[in-house]
Chain A
Amino acid sequence: MDDVPGDESALTELMERYQGGDTRAFEELYAILAPQLGRYLRSLARDAALADDLLQETFLQLHRARQSYTPPRPVRPWAYAIARHVFLMSRRSRTRRARHETTAVVDLPDAPVPPEVASLGDRDQVRRALAQVSDDHREALVLHHILGLSFREVGRVLGITEGAAKVRAHRGIVTMRRILGHEGASGS
């Protein structure tokens, strides 16, 4: 798993200060959460520029929904759930705008790489493989293997059971291994 800065108790404390009206706490939260939420949004949006816009919108929504965080619950699942919602809302409005346009993006620019499969190929190969994993499986894989959420938390963010989260993440890893195995075999 990549290094995830900011332990939960520190995040909880920052959230409490932020809810109390301390804007400095929000800036600290932003510094900790922005890179992680940015990674997550890039894996969802598959477009770095769009992910940056969504990140800003996510923090706007976090700010407007700040009363909905209940200490001492973990901050990350709350923040990821809002980020996912922002992405889904954005996808909905984009789909409506370009009803018949399809963007065949097959790459994940700057996407994080799961450590479980990082050794199976170079970074670009792994990213391409990650892009080929189905959306459902990739989301669970990214949230658990890269962003460090427990399967229980992944389930609560995605609205699925803990078991289903495990299955999705596992299938994502299996798919990546299969793709990278094939790529490796064809490359050699």
Chain B
Amino acid sequence: MSSNQDTGRLPRRLREELERDHAPVRPLRPPWQRATVVAVWFVGILLAAPTLLGLRPDAETLGMAWLWGPPLVQVLFGLVLVTLALREAVPGQSLPSPWIGALAILAVGTQLASALGTYLVSHGVTPPPGASFLDGSACARSEALLGLPALVVTLWLAVRAYPVRPVHAGLLGGLGAGLFADGVQHLQCGVSGLHHVLVWHLGGMLICALIGAATGWVLERVRAARMARP
């Protein structure tokens, strides 16, 4: 063992780093408080969506409960996932990996339950023949556009906390943002067909999750490369 550790004296490199930057820092707020930034985006978009994007054509058939119920559940659960992503990003606060797996399954299950329930109440509109790909890709794009800003903010907040498992934090954040985006999409997309919803809506949500996890993976690689530098 080096003498530095025995005596508690700071090694030279560490002392230099400390002298370069010893500015006071403010401790991070708890994850639920930091998640309010994302919550504002979630609630704002959810409330503005009917005006900006319009409501789905079968809104009356669905009724208030099935029109607003699934999006509210998805937005709230999405917010829980974002909060957990921010908690996961704090060193020493890691969630057990099986819990993260269970949360991912639960998020997909919530989306599936919402899709199935809505389909049972109203089959919605059927896209004209040959237009299903265009309609579907428009939905996936719209979900990505709604979810990505929330994901970017979540990842920025997570990185500020020094995540020791950035892939896990990114995955949770991506699932949360994707679930939220799918909830908003439910308000305006009138196609309830399970093929459309399971491929394009679930696909959009999973793309958000993948982007989150992939960003975490890249961050891990960059950090490993920086540490390897002499």
Main secondary structure of the interface of B (DSSP, over half): loop
A184 within 8 A of B: no
- Of the listed stretches A31-39, A121-129, A132-140, A167-175, name the one at the interface; the rest are far from the partner chain: A31-39
The reply to whether B8 and A30 contact each other, CB–CB distance below 8 Å, is yes
Main secondary structure of the interface of A (DSSP, over half): helix
State which residues 128-185 of A face B: CB under 8 Å: 153, 155-161, 164
The reply to whether A21 and B92 contact each other, CB–CB distance below 8 Å, is no
The reply to whether A67 and B28 contact each other, CB–CB distance below 8 Å, is yes
Number of B interface residues in the complex (CB < 8 A): 45
A-side interface size class: 35 or more
The reply to whether B8 and A34 contact each other, CB–CB distance below 8 Å, is yes
The reply to whether A90 and B228 contact each other, CB–CB distance below 8 Å, is yes
**Residues of B contacting A23 in the complex (Cβ-Cβ under 8 angstroms):** 18-19, 22
The reply to whether B227 and A69 contact each other, CB–CB distance below 8 Å, is no
Min Cβ gap A96→B in Å is 8
The reply to whether A159 and B97 contact each other, CB–CB distance below 8 Å, is yes
Assuming A67-B160, A89-B220, A160-B97, is B18 touching A81 (CB within 8 A)?
Answer: no
| A-B pairs with beta carbons under 8 Å apart, 24 shown | A19-B26, A21-B24, A23-B22, A26-B22, A27-B10, A32-B8, A34-B4, A52-B1, A56-B11, A67-B28, A68-B90, A68-B161, A71-B27, A77-B92, A80-B92, A81-B91, A81-B94, A85-B164, A89-B223, A89-B227, A92-B220, A156-B92, A157-B94, A159-B94
